[in-house]
């Protein structure tokens, strides 16, 4: 009984976007030695997808989406520690490393893409802005993501996308990750030219493309 | 001698003196306790030598209140932006109001209404239109991107194209090290530029922008320091909080400029927009933008600095009713608030496109708003007491009096694009709406207008600078 209550509470905390509440519930889950994977799948995930749907249909707004994603992240940290401690596994949609390229400080578009991806169940590592090719490479080595996403809003920084892709090839990492690019300075033909795997004109198309690349349903 | 702008004699205000004081005090607190991240090493050194607390590791610079006040006191409340033709110089500050063109990433082809990447020739044509339109008192580059030049030097090219195709003053940039080259270019053209510095909200002065502050200050060119937090995204969701952040960022940049060259001209420029929380886009055509512009003008006056805003703007994609009502509201608010430097002309789609057709329509909006600023002249001749007595009741009328012939033109604006004729006449002349009329005017001016040419010697030197910039910036 208490287990169901806790899972409902996790979901509710994500929907309301209250990290403290979600973290407290997640800690209780660990304390009571409940299945952390179950808490993740039946608590956090349905919560964030409800918020995602609310945003897509215009009932919820960006701040709701962002706070819910933050809440999810905070609670997931607690549960994931438990998952890896107990050696169990949760089914993952995929892991995405995201950042805005070197020389470019435009943050907002990339952040929205990150948020929407996490609301669709992706595990998202947001590297931030002004990310050098070496930082991307390092992140690919460290995080072993399925996808790396790069944003560029300036024509002068668009070439950075190609540089990162060449670096990935040099380091024999290109086959390990899919590369998706977006932002105002990027066109689909440019994405093709630099041999990216995908391009997203906006956050929603970006999510769809990511799902397509990883053959994720929905 | 300077270009005659408009004058705003009784500026509209939105904040009380007490509220301004609160924004000021709060800003000093943020500057002192949180500070700003300054990405350029030499700039941090200058700030440290000037008395700031600097952590070179984290790039964070904290500003003591006394130093901020010192920098504010150094700023001239008025300065000249010198054109090579002195009649086109700007006298920035006081109650003067000037209008400028607005840049786009692409431009909107007038006849097809499709977005196009600008070539060098397109850019020159767009500059010539700015040169031709009387309400463009000064230029911000019509396009920020050229499709047929390497991206590393596109801004240097854009500025050279401006200098070749207009003798009006131009706004500079600092992006990608462009300030270094522009400063040289305007020198050989015997004029100044209004350097454009863009702080990255929240609280970052990027390396190239810091370098730009130094380049413009040290070369004796005035500069604008622009901050544009996006309400709810890169700034607090409240207008008051966003104004504090904007103020902090502008004042931080100003300290660097004044330490580099005490007394140099700095314009206080606002660019705050709310975010549309449904789409994550900037609501650049919103009323809030205009409201914050009024407050920006008040804050600039409080500090004794000339004011500017990096709008009016619209989110409309074509020159349509939305473009016109959004831009008109903002232009009106900015002008009646006494913003010294306003940028209404040509912008569409939140900086996405520059439109020649919209330019012509905006030229008309500016004339109308300028007319509002001119107000009503009241003297014996214009009160026309004797005339009213003389004409008396119907059948008397004023059409046949000499007084009408003498005064009607100075008091009435004849629209260039607006439809005024009655219905049948309008039908007989082709039932053309405003967009069609503006398209014809834009096309005609772009095809025929001849700007005053750049002197030969200047052209030779300008070309040398472009070649040098390419050699230095394009790594083979
Ligand atoms: C806000 C803004 C800023 C802010 C950024 C604040 C911040 N912390 O992010 C500030 C004021 C700091 C700024 C600075 C500059 N900016 Co600016 N900026 C803008 C502006 C107005 C909006 C950008 C934005 O956030 N849009 C909203 C978001 C949601 O849209 P978005 O970023 O496009 O993202 C969406 C999609 O593109 C896509 N997407 C984005 N990334 C990714 C990644 C992936 C993987 C995928 C799948 C999808 C995807 O999904 C997103 C959501 O739908 C644009 C104009 C415009 N209308 O786009 C100019 C613009 C991008 N800036 C421009 C310029 C020139 C500059 C400056 C150089 C200005 C200057 N002269 O100093 C500096 C550069 C600073 C730097 N080094 O980066 C130009 C670029 C032109 C060019 N030739 O490259 C633009 C186009 C304006 C213009 N017309 O001139 N800017």
Per-residue pLDDT of B70-79, as tens digits, reads 999 999 999 9
Strand partners, B282: B275
Q: Nearest-CA residue of chain B relative to A55?
A: B278
Which residues is B342 bridged to in the sheet?
B99
Mean pLDDT of chain B: 96
Distance from CA of B285 to the nearest CA of A (A): 18
Q: Which of A106-120, B305-319, B413-427, B460-474 has the lowest mean pLDDT?
A: A106-120
A2-86: in CATH 3.30.230.10: no
pLDDT at B361: 98
- Range list for CATH 3.40.50.280 in chain A: 95-213
**Mean predicted confidence (pLDDT) in B93-109:** 96
- Ligand 1 centre to CA of B105 (Å) is 10
Which residue is closest in CA terms to ligand 1's atom 64? Answer: A154
Q: Rounded to whole angstroms, how far apart are CA atoms B181 and A21?
A: 55
| Identity of the residue in A63, A105, A155 whose CB atom sits nearest the CB atom of B154 | A155
* Tens of pLDDT, residues A145-158: 999 999 999 888 89
pLDDT band at A87 (very low <50, low <70, confident <90, very high): confident
Q: Are A82 and A44 in contact (CB under 8 A)?
A: no
Band of residue A91 on the pLDDT scale cut at 50, 70, 90: low
Kind plus residue range of the DSSP H or E element containing B215:
helix B207-218
Nearest CA to ligand 1 atom 2: A106
Return the H-helix or E-strand segment holding B72.
helix B65-74
Phi then psi for A201, rounded to 5 degrees? -65, -35
CA B174 – CA B217 distance, rounded (Å): 12
What DSSP line would sit under B5-32, residue for residue?
-EE-SS----S-HHHHHHHHHHHHHHHH
Of B206, B234, B277, the CB nearest to A107: B234
Q: Is the pLDDT of residue B476 over 70?
A: no
CA gap A164, A109 in Å, rounded: 20
**From the alpha carbon of B271, which atom of ligand 1 is closest?**
11
So what's the pLDDT on residue A190? 93
- pLDDT(A218) > 70: no
Mean pLDDT calculated for residue range B401-416: 91
The tokens for B234 are 């890169």
* Residue A105 with chain B: CB contacts under 8 Å: 200, 204, 206
d(CA B26, CA B30): 6
Residue-wise pLDDT tens digits, B152-210: 999 999 999 999 999 999 999 999 999 999 999 999 999 999 999 999 999 999 999 99
Residues of chain A within CATH 1.10.1240.10 domain(s) are 2-86
In this prediction, residue B393 carries a pLDDT of 96
Average pLDDT, integer, range B32-53: 98
Q: Does domain A95-213 have CATH number 3.30.450.30?
A: no
DSSP B320-371: SHHHHHHHHHHHHHHHHTT-SEEEEESEETTTTEE-HHHHHHHHHHHHHHHH
DSSP state of B152: G
| Interchain proximity A108–B277, CB inside 8 Å | no
pLDDT recorded at residue A82: 87
- Report which protein residue has its CA nearest ligand 1's atom 5: A106
Under the banding of pLDDT at 50, 70 and 90, the label for residue A126 is: very high
- Confidence at A209, pLDDT banded by 50, 70, 90: very high
Residue of the CA atom closest to atom 54 of ligand 1: B351
pLDDT value of position B168: 98
Binary contact (A63, B232; C-beta < 8 A): yes
Ligand 1 mean position, distance from CA B351 (Å): 10
Q: How far is the CA of B450 from the centre of ligand 1 (A)?
A: 35
Share above pLDDT 90 across residues of chain B, in percent, rounded to a whole number: 96
| Residues in chain B within 8 Å Cβ distance of A112 | 280
**From CA A128, how far away is CA A107, in angstroms rounded?**
7
Rounded distance, CA B265 to CA B306, Å? 9
Q: Name the one residue in this structure whose structure tokens are 């703007």.
A: B313
Q: Flag whether residue B392 sits within 8 Å of chain A, measured between CB atoms.
A: no
Mean pLDDT value of segment A196-212:
93
Residue in B126, B70, B462 with CA at minimum distance from that of residue B257 = B70
Asked if residue A10 lies in contact with residue A39, where contact means CB atoms within 8 angstroms, the answer is yes
Partners of A97 in the β-ladder:
A125, A148
Whether B475 and chain A come into contact, CB under 8 Å, resolves to: no
ipTM of the complex: 0.82
In ligand 1, the atom with minimum distance to the C-alpha of A155 is 84
Q: Using CB atoms and an 8 Å cut-off, which of residues 92-121 of chain B contact chain A? A: 105
Beta carbons within 8 Å of B237's beta carbon, 6+ residues apart: A63, B231
Report yes or no: B150 at the A interface, CB cutoff 8 Å.
Answer: no
Buried b (16+ CB within 10 A) or exposed e, B442-459: bbebbeeeebeebeeebb
Task: Return d(Cα B193, Cα B210) in angstroms, integer.
Answer: 17
Q: Which residues of A touch B353 (CB under 8 A)?
A: none
Q: Do A156 and B278 touch (CB under 8 A)?
A: no
Cβ(B248)–Cβ(B201) under 8 Å?
no
Q: Say how many Å lie between the CA of residue A153 and the centre of ligand 1.
A: 5
* Closest atom of ligand 1 to CA, residue A158: 84
Percentage of residues in chain A with pLDDT exceeding 90? Answer: 68
Q: Which residues of B touch A109 (CB under 8 A)?
A: 280
Residue nearest to atom 60 of ligand 1 (CA): A153
Q: Domain boundaries in chain B?
A: 6-15+70-374, 380-411
Atom of ligand 1 lying closest to residue B208 CA = 77
A107 CA → ligand 1 middle, Å? 8
pLDDT of B350 > 90? The answer is: yes
Q: Which chain A residues contact residue B177 at CB under 8 A?
A: none
The pLDDT of B264-281, averaged and rounded, is 95
To the question of pTM greater than 0.95 for the whole model, the response is no
Looking at the predicted structure, is the pLDDT value of residue B421 above 70? yes
Confidence at residue B205, expressed as pLDDT on a 0 to 100 scale = 97
What is the model's pLDDT at position B409? Answer: 87
* Cβ–Cβ contact B236 with A under 8 A: no
Of A63, A105, A156, the CB nearest to B200: A105
Average pLDDT of the residues in B324-349: 97
pLDDT of A123 over the 80 cut: yes
Q: Which residue of B has its CA nearest to A57?
A: B278
- Mean pLDDT of the region B18-37: 98
CA Rg value for chain A:
18
Q: How many CB pairs below 8 Å do chains A and B form together?
A: 36
Of B151, B154, B230, the CB nearest to A108: B230
Q: Which of A154, A214, A164, A153 is nearest to A194 (CA)?
A: A164
Task: Give the closest of B105, B175, B234 to A108, CB-based.
Answer: B234
Give, using CA atoms, the residue closest to atom 73 of ligand 1: B198
A185 CA → ligand 1 middle, Å = 9
Closest approach of chain B CAs to the CA of A38, in angstroms? Answer: 32
Taking residues B368-397, what's their average pLDDT? Answer: 96
Of B107, B144, B145, B177, best ligand 1 pocket probe by most atoms within 8 Å of the beta carbon: B144
Ligand 1: list residues with CB < 6 Å: A 103-110, 112-113, 149-151, 153-155, 180-185, 200, 202-203, 206; B 103-105, 144-145, 173-175, 196, 198, 200-201, 206, 228, 230, 234, 280-282, 350-352
Does pLDDT of A119 surpass 90? Answer: no
The CATH architecture that domain B6-15+70-374 belongs to is Alpha-Beta Barrel (3.20)
* Contact indicator for A130, A102 with CB cutoff of 8 Å: yes
Pocket test residue of A96, A102, A106 for ligand 1, highest count of atoms within 8 A of CB: A106
Nearest CA to ligand 1 atom 35: A109
């Amino acid at each position: 009984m208490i287990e169901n209550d806790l899972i409902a509470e996790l979901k509710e905390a994500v929907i309301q976007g209250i990290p403290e509440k979600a973290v407290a519930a997640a800690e209780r889950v660990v304390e009571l030695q409940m299945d952390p994977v179950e808490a993740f799948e039946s608590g956090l995930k349905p919560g964030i997808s409800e918020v995602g749907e609310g945003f897509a249909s215009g009932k919820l707004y960006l701040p709701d989406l962002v706070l819910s994603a933050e809440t999810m992240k905070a609670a997931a940290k607690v549960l994931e520690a438990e998952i890896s401690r107990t050696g169990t596994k949760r089914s993952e949609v995929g892991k995405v490393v995201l950042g805005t390229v070197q020389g470019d400080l435009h943050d907002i578009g990339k952040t929205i893409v990150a948020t929407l991806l996490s609301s669709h169940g992706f595990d998202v590592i947001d590297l931030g802005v002004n990310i050098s090719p070496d930082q991307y490479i390092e992140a690919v080595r460290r995080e072993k993501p399925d996808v790396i996403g790069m944003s560029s809003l300036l024509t002068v920084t668009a070439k950075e996308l190609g540089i990162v892709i060449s670096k990935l090839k040099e380091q024999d990492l290109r086959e390990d990750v899919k590369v998706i690019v977006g932002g105002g300075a990027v066109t689909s033909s440019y994405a093709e030219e630099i041999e990216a795997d995908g391009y997203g004109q906006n956050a929603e198309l970006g999510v769809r493309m990511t799902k397509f690349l990883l053959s994720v349903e929905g | 001698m300077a270009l005659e702008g408009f004058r705003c004699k009784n500026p509209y205000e939105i904040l009380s003196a007490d509220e301004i004081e609160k924004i000021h005090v709060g800003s000093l607190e943020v500057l002192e306790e949180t500070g700003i991240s300054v990405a350029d090493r030499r700039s941090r050194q200058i700030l440290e030598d000037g008395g700031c607390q600097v952590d070179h590791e984290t790039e964070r610079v904290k500003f003591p209140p006394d130093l901020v006040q010192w920098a504010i006191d150094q700023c001239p409340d008025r300065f000249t932006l010198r054109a090579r033709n002195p009649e086109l110089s700007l006298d920035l500050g006081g109650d003067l109001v000037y209008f400028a063109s607005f840049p786009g990433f692409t431009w909107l082809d007038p006849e097809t209404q499709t977005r196009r990447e600008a070539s060098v020739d397109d850019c020159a044509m767009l500059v010539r239109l700015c040169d031709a339109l009387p309400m463009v008192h000064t230029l911000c580059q019509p396009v920020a991107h050229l499709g047929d030049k390497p991206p590393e030097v596109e801004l240097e090219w854009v500025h050279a194209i401006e200098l070749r195709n207009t003798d009006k003053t131009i706004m500079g940039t600092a992006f990608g090290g462009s300030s270094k080259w522009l400063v040289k270019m305007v020198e050989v053209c015997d004029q100044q530029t209004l350097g454009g510095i863009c702080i990255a909200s929240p609280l970052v002065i990027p390396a190239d922008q810091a370098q730009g502050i130094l380049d413009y200050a040290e070369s004796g060119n005035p500069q604008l320091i622009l901050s544009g937090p996006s309400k709810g995204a890169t700034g607090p969701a409240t207008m008051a909080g966003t104004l504090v952040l904007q103020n902090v960022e502008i004042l931080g940049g100003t300290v660097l400029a004044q330490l580099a060259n005490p007394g140099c001209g700095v314009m206080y420029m606002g660019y705050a927009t709310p975010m549309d929380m449904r789409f994550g886009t900037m609501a650049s055509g919103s009323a809030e933008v205009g409201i914050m512009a009024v407050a920006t003008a008040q804050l600039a006056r409080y500090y004794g600095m000339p004011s500017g805003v990096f709008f009016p703007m619209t989110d409309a994609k074509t020159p349509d009713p939305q473009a016109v009502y959004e831009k008109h509201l903002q232009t009106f608010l900015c002008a009646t608030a006494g913003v010294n430097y306003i940028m209404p002309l040509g912008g569409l789609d939140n900086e996405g496109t520059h439109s020649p057709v919209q330019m012509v329509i905006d030229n008309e909006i500016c004339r109308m708003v300028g007319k509002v600023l001119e107000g009503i002249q009241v003297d014996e001749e214009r009160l026309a007491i004797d005339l009213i007595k003389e004409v008396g009741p119907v059948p008397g009328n004023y059409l046949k009096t000499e007084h009408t012939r003498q005064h009607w033109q100075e008091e009435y604006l004849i629209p260039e694009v607006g439809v005024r004729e009655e219905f049948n006449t309008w039908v007989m002349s082709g039932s053309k709406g405003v967009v069609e009329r503006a398209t014809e005017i834009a096309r005609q001016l772009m095809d025929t207008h001849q700007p005053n040419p750049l002197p030969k010697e200047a052209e030779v030197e300008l070309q040398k600078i472009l070649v040098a910039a390419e050699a230095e910036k394009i790594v083979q």
